[in-house]
Chains A and B, each alone.
Chain A
Amino acid sequence: MTLDNAKILIGDDSIFARRQLKDMIGSWGNFTFIEAADGQEVIDLFLAEKPDLVLLDIVMPIKDGIAAVEEIIDTDPDAYIIMVSSMGTQTQLRRAIEAGARDFIQKPINSDHLKTIITKRFEGR
C-alpha cells in the first residue's frame, strides 16, 4: 500500500478538529491536505481539487455535511466520502449512507478505526 501523495479534503468548521485529523493521518503517510470550514466550501474545493478522499463533519454552518455529500455525489458518483461526526445517530447514519457516504466515524475518533478505513481506501495504490 502506498499512501504517498494522496489528496485528502477535510471538511469541518472546527480548526481544532481539522488539525486533529491531519495530525493522525499525517503520521501514516505523506498526504496533501485541503481544508474547508463549511459545506459550501467543501463542494467548491471538491470540484476544484478532485481529492482522493473526503472526510466530512455533519454539523457545519451555511450547508451541512450531508447536503454537501448529496451535491458532490450528484456531480461525481465515484467520490469517496467518509463522515466524521459526534452525531452518529441512526437517522444521521442512514441519511449519510443514502446520500452516498461510504462510512461513518463516530467522534471521539478511534485512531485504529480511522486507520483501517484510510488503509482500505488506498489499498493497492
Chain B
Amino acid sequence: MYTQFFGNFLLNKDVISPEELIKAMEKQAAIHIKFGTLAIHEGLLTASEVDHIVIIQTHKNKRFGEIAIEEGYLTKEQVDFVLEKQKPSYLLLGQILIEDGKLSNSDFENLISDYQSQYEIFDLESDEEQNNLVTGLFSSFGEPGNEPISQTAIDYLTLLFNNLIRFIGDDFTPLDLVAYQEDYPTNYCISQHISGNISIHSAMDMDTDTAINFASRYANEDFSSFDEYARASLEDFLNLHNGLYNVNMSNERSVELSLTPPEVHSDDVLEFEPPSYLMPIMFPFGILHFILGFH
C-alpha cells in the first residue's frame, strides 16, 4: 500500500518533471499486471474464475487472493506464490523510467534506498507508515505538529487515499498540498460539507474527460459521454468517502459529525475560507484537484 508516493518523492527530488511522470504512469497502467492475469498465466485460475472473483470484489472489501481462497479456487500457498511474482508498483514505475532513459540503474537503486529509508517502509500495511507518508504531503508547511487541525487533515487524507485505492485504482500520485485562500474557479466540481465539532469543506474538481474516466472506474461501467449516471457516480464517490470518514470518526474518535448532500458547481467559483488546501492527484487519465478546508 502507498507505493503511490514514490512518484511524489521523485518529483520532490527533481528527478523527473510532472509531464514525464504522467507519461510513465500511462505506460504503467498499460503494463500493470494484475493478480488475476498472473494467476491465469500460471495456470492456477481460469478466465471465468477470475471474472467471478472480480464481480465478488465489487461488493466485498477484500483482496483478490482472499476471495480466491474463500471460493476454493486457490490454496493459501498458491496465493503466496502469485503474490511473490507481483511487483510493487513503484518498481514498475522505476522500470519504465529506466527504459525511457530518465534514470540509470544505479540512480534507481539509490533512489529506492533513499525512499525506503525516508519512509521506513518495512511493513507496508502499518498505520504508522501511512501516517508518515500523508504527513509528508504537508512538508511545505513546516512541522505539521504545530497546526492544531493537522491530525484531522491527516486522518481525512489517509482515508481518501485508501478509498481511491479501493474504488478507483492504485495508479495515482498525490502531489504536495498547497495553501489556498482565493476563490476557486471550477471545471466540473462536486462539493460537500461535513459539520459538527470538526468542519470540513471538501470539493473535487476535474475536467470532463477526467470525470468520465473517473466515473467509469468507480461505476465499473464504460461511460462514453458525461451523462447523468456518470455525473451522479462522482457525487456518489465523494458522498461515500465522506460518509465513511464520519463512520471512522464516530468509531475511532467518538466524534459525531453530519453531512450535507453533495452539490455540483460547473464552471462556477467556489469560496474557501483559510486554512484551505489544494491537492492535485495525478491519475494516468487526468488530474483530480481536491480542495479541502479544515476548520
A residues neighboring B (CB under 8 Å): 13-17, 19, 59-61, 85-91, 106-112
Indicate whether A13 sits within 8 Å of B229 (C-beta atoms), given known contacts A89-B250, A107-B240: no
Residues of B close to A91: CB separation below 8 A: 250, 256
Give the 8 A-B CB pairs with smallest separation, nearest first: A86-B243, A16-B232, A89-B250, A111-B59, A87-B243, A16-B233, A86-B240, A15-B232
**B247: CB under 8 A from chain A?**
yes
**Whole-angstrom distance between the Cβ of B54 and the nearest chain A Cβ:** 14
- Size category of the B interface is 20 to 34
Contacts of A109 in B (CB 8 A): 59
Query: Which of B240, B246, B251 is close to A108, meaning CB atoms less than 8 Å apart?
Result: B240
Q: In the bound complex, how far is the Cα of B242 from the Cα of A61, in angstroms?
A: 16
Which of chain B's residues have a CB closer than 8 A to the CB of A106? Answer: 247
Chain B residues with CB below 8 A from A88, complex form? 243, 247
| Interface CB pairs A-B, < 8 A, 10 | A14-B232, A14-B239, A15-B232, A16-B219, A16-B236, A59-B260, A87-B259, A88-B243, A90-B256, A112-B59
Residues of B within 8 Å of A17, CB to CB, are 232, 236
B261 contact from A59, A85, A110, A111, Cβ within 8 A? A59
* Closest chain B residue to A107, Cβ basis: B240
Complex contact A87–B246 (CB within 8 A): yes
Query: Which of chain B's residues have a CB closer than 8 A to the CB of A86?
Result: 239-240, 242-244, 247
Given A59-B261, A85-B243, A108-B240, 11 additional A-B pairs, CB 8 A: A13-B261, A16-B232, A16-B236, A17-B232, A19-B229, A59-B239, A61-B261, A86-B240, A86-B247, A87-B247, A111-B59
Q: How far is the CB of B204 from chain A (nearest CB, A)?
A: 15
B-chain residues with CB within 8 Å of residue A60 when the two chains form the complex:
261
* Given A16-B235, A17-B236, A91-B256, also A59-B229 (CB < 8 A): no
Q: Is B14 an interface residue (CB 8 A)?
A: no
How does the 8 Å CB contact mask read for B251-295 relative to A, with 1 for contact and 0 for none? 100001101110000000000000000000000000000000000
Residue B60 at the A interface, CB < 8 A?
yes
CB distance from A125 to the nearest CB of B (A): 25
Residue B60 contacts which of A13, A90, A110 (CB distance < 8 angstroms)? Answer: A110
B242 contacts which chain A residues (CB < 8 A)? 86
Inter-subunit contact A110/B247 (CB<8 Å): no
- With an 8 A cutoff between CB atoms, is B61 at the interface? yes
Is B125 close to A, CB under 8 A? no
A39 to B231, CA, bound (A): 21
Closest to A24 in B: B59
- How near does chain A come to B55, taking the closest CB pair, in angstroms? 9
For A108, the chain B residues whose CB sits under 8 A away are 59, 61, 167, 240
How many angstroms from the CA of A13 to the CA of B236 in the assembled complex? 10
Chain B neighbourhood of A61, CB < 8 A: 261
Q: How far is the CB of B217 from chain A (nearest CB, A)?
A: 14
Residues of A within 8 A of B61 (CB): 108
Nearest neighbor of B240 in chain A, beta-carbon distance: A86
Q: Which of B61, B233, B239, B244 has the most CB of A within 10 A?
A: B239
Give Cα A111 to B57, complex, Å. 11
In the assembly, what is the distance between CA of A108 and CA of B166, in Å?
A: 11
Please give the distance in Å from A117's CB to the nearest CB on chain B.
14
In the assembled complex, B127 has its CB within 8 A of some CB on chain A: no
Q: Give bound CA distance, A85 to B60, whole Å.
A: 16
Q: Which residues of B contact A112 (CB under 8 A)?
A: 59-60
